[in-house]
C-alpha cells in the first residue's frame, strides 16, 4: 500500500515538473529594451536611435533655437531700417563736400546769369545768389578747415558739366534753364541743410540752422523765375547740382 502511494506521489510530482517545463518553453521571450532607453549617446548610436535625438545645444540650424519670426529676422538685411540718404547732412564730411560743390555751382551759374540774362528779375536774383552763396561758402570753408575736413577748391567734372550745359544756352532759353535749375537746386539744398541741423558736429549744425532761413527765402524767390514752374519732374541738369 505504501509502495502504491509513493508511486502515485512521484508520478504527480513528475507531471507537475513536466507541466512547468513545458510552460517555460512555450512562454514568449521577454521584449528587448527600447533602444531609445539606452542611457548614453554611444549606446543610442549603436542601437540606431540617434535620429530621434534632439539637436545638440549650439546647433547652427536656424530652427534649433529660433522661432519662425526670429528666423525671418536673421535672414533679413540687418541694414533694412537704416535712415535714408536725406540725412547725409548729419555726417560732417559728406555735408561739407555736398554743400561746397553745390554752393560753388550756384555762384558760377549766377555770375553767368548776371551778364547773359536780359530779364531784370533774373539778373536781380542772380546778383543776390552770388552775394549770399559766396558768403556762406566762405563761412563753411573756414569752419571745415578748422576741423581738418576736406573742402573742394573747384567744381568736380559732374558739376562743371552742368554749368557748361546751361552756359551754352542764350536768351530766353538760358533764362528758362537757369530758373529751372535754381528751383530744383534750392528745394534739395533746403533738405540737405535740414539734415545738417542734426549733425554730430555742433559748429556745422549751428551753421546749418543759421543759413536755413536764407535758403528757404531763395527757394521761394527761385519759384518765381522763368522755367521754375516746369522744374517738377525734370532732371535735365539737377544731377550734380542738387546742393547749395
What is the domain count for the chain?
Answer: 1
Give the CATH number, domain containing residue 90. 1.20.1260.10
Grid cell of 78 as nine digits: 540687418
Q: By residue range, what is the domain housing residue 193?
A: 85-230
In a domain, 22, yes or no: no
d(CA 43, CA 28): 26
Spell out the residues 6+ positions from residue 115 whose beta carbon is closer than 8 angstroms to its own. none
Residue 53 lies in a domain: no
Domain-embedded: residue 191: yes
Model-level pTM greater than 0.85? no
| pLDDT, one tens digit for every residue, the chain (244 residues) | 544 445 444 555 555 454 555 444 544 444 444 444 444 444 444 444 444 444 444 444 444 444 444 444 434 333 333 343 345 667 999 999 999 999 999 999 999 999 999 899 999 999 999 999 999 999 999 999 999 999 999 999 999 999 999 999 999 999 999 999 999 899 889 999 999 999 999 999 999 999 999 999 999 999 999 888 755 444 444 444 444 5
Q: Which residue has the cell 528757404?
A: 216
The answer to the question of residue 68 being in a domain is no
Amino acid at each position: 500500500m505504501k509502495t502504491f502511494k509513493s508511486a502515485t506521489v512521484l508520478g504527480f510530482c513528475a507531471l507537475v515538473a513536466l507541466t512547468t517545463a513545458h510552460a517555460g518553453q512555450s512562454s514568449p521571450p521577454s521584449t528587448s529594451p527600447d533602444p531609445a532607453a539606452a542611457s548614453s549617446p554611444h549606446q543610442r548610436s549603436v542601437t540606431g536611435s540617434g535620429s530621434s535625438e534632439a539637436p545638440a545645444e549650439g546647433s547652427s540650424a536656424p530652427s534649433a533655437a529660433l522661432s519662425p519670426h526670429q528666423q525671418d529676422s536673421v535672414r533679413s538685411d540687418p541694414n533694412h531700417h537704416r535712415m535714408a540718404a536725406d540725412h547725409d547732412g548729419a555726417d560732417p564730411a559728406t555735408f561739407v563736400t555736398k554743400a561746397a560743390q553745390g554752393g560753388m555751382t550756384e555762384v558760377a551759374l549766377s555770375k553767368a546769369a548776371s551778364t547773359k540774362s536780359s530779364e531784370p528779375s533774373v539778373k536781380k536774383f542772380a546778383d543776390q545768389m552770388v552775394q549770399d552763396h559766396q558768403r556762406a561758402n566762405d563761412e563753411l570753408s573756414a569752419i571745415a578747415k578748422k576741423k581738418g575736413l576736406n573742402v573742394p577748391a573747384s567744381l568736380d567734372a559732374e558739376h562743371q558739366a552742368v554749368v557748361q550745359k546751361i552756359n551754352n544756352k542764350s536768351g530766353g532759353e538760358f533764362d528758362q534753364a537757369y530758373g529751372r535749375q535754381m528751383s530744383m537746386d534750392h528745394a534739395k539744398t533746403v533738405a540737405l541743410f535740414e539734415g545738417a541741423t542734426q549733425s554730430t558736429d555742433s559748429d556745422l549744425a549751428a551753421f546749418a540752422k543759421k543759413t536755413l532761413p536764407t535758403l528757404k527765402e531763395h527757394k521761394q524767390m527761385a519759384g518765381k523765375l522763368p522755367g521754375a514752374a516746369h522744374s517738377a519732374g525734370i532732371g535735365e541738369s539737377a544731377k550734380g547740382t542738387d546742393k547749395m
